Amino acid sequence: MEAIDSIDQNLLRLLQADGRATYSELAGRVGLSVAATKRRIDRLCAAGVITGFTALVDQTKLGWAVEAFTEVRYVGTTPPEDMLRAMSEIPEVAAAYTIAGDPDVLVKLRARDNRHLQNVIERLRRGRATGTKSMIVLDAYRREG
Amino acid sequence: MEAIDSIDQNLLRLLQADGRATYSELAGRVGLSVAATKRRIDRLCAAGVITGFTALVDQTKLGWAVEAFTEVRYVGTTPPEDMLRAMSEIPEVAAAYTIAGDPDVLVKLRARDNRHLQNVIERLRRGRATGTKSMIVLDAYRREG
DNA sequence: TTTGAAACAACTTCGTT
DNA sequence: AACGAAGTTGTTTCAAA
């Protein structure tokens, strides 16, 4: 993979701030032609530096008001891949992270309300999980989005 | 705010999957004209359902290899807003969540390496924090991106 | 609210430097 | 690697239904 110079870093920053910015707008900001700008962005995508583009959606406005993190502990023999696979099969799981140490997995959840959250946590605990500890989010700061 | 129908939900899903999809492509997929499609998306943005568009960047490819979550506890009199503000001032903080119960804040961190992470955690602990517990991410599943 | 058409803007490719 | 030009495609607005 090619080295990432300051122009590339600028493009990444601009595209993180506005993923639908036009090539001509980006070109103007980084001081290159439209063609050169597109070439660099195509390269960043091909190299896997940019993994995609997405719309940021306010889940609260869609009626999913509850956000929570749950720590999950598993029986000692469970392979980490199995933990993540089990979590990925639960639709309310927004993300899951295997952890060095204790707990084994940290799961980010989205639910409509507390009753729904309780139901999700029940499903998390099925299988080889030995215990959970949940933290309900009251407020959040997010660097992007 | 207007009700969100199944066409809107489809548009949200399509834009989350590809934030740079063209209006004509989206129009074809939802079975509306380009003009009607644009109108709906403009409305979703204006209503705050769509809060923005962003490029998903693989931080590992930029040399930020370490991801961690840190639980932070504060002295009892600290207002939650102050906790989030303090966290937001640390560039390596990707997100911070105030929590009901114990701990007070859960912080998502990005660092170049373990030495850098240690330095970040030192900075987290300054101010009114009374204690931290860090969890280094080994592997992750993310529903989008 | 949707449509179709028209004017405008942006994208993408290609030959050149 | 970048540029500029040319052909293609997409965006945005507007009158009509």
Question: Could you name the CATH architecture of B59-136?
Answer: 2-Layer Sandwich (3.30)
Cβ neighbours of A69 in B, within 8 Å: 97, 99, 106
Structure confidence at residue A55 as a pLDDT band (50, 70, 90): very high
Contacts of B50 in chain A (CB under 8 A): 55-58
d(CA B83, nearest CA chain A) in Å: 10
User: Residue B20 above 70 pLDDT?
Assistant: yes
The mean pLDDT of A71-91, rounded to a whole number, is 96
pTM: 0.94
Q: What's the gap between Cα B144 and its chain centre?
A: 11
d(CA A17, CA B44): 18
* Residue A1, pLDDT score: 66
Is residue B117 over pLDDT 80? yes
Between CA B132 and CA B141, with CA B136 as vertex, the angle to 5 degrees is 125
Domain spans of chain A? 6-46, 59-136
Tens of pLDDT, residues B59-86: 999 999 999 999 999 999 999 999 999 9
User: CA of B96, closest CA in chain A: separation in Å?
Assistant: 5
Task: Please provide the DSSP assignment of B84-135 as one string.
Answer: HHHHHTSTTEEEEEEESSSSSEEEEEEESSHHHHHHHHHHHHSTTEEEEEEE
Given this model, what pLDDT does residue B2 score? 75
Q: Strand pairing of B93-99 and A93-100?
A: unpaired
Q: What is the spatial distance between Cα B63 and Cα B111, in angstroms, rounded to a whole number?
A: 9
Nucleotide with minimal C1' distance from the CA of A37 is D2
User: Which residues pair with residue A114 across a beta bridge?
Assistant: none
- For residue A110, pLDDT over 90 is answered with yes
Q: Alpha-carbon distance B143 to A52, whole Å? A: 13
CB contact under 8 A, B52 and A19: yes
- The owner of tokens 């110079």 is A5
Pick the CATH number of A6-46 from 1.10.10.10, 3.40.920.10, 1.10.3720.10, 1.20.120.720: 1.10.10.10
H/E element holding A74? strand A66-74
Contact A144 B93 (CB under 8 A): no
Q: Closest CA to D4 C1' — which residue?
A: A33
Q: How confident is the model at residue A24 (pLDDT cuts 50, 70, 90)?
A: very high
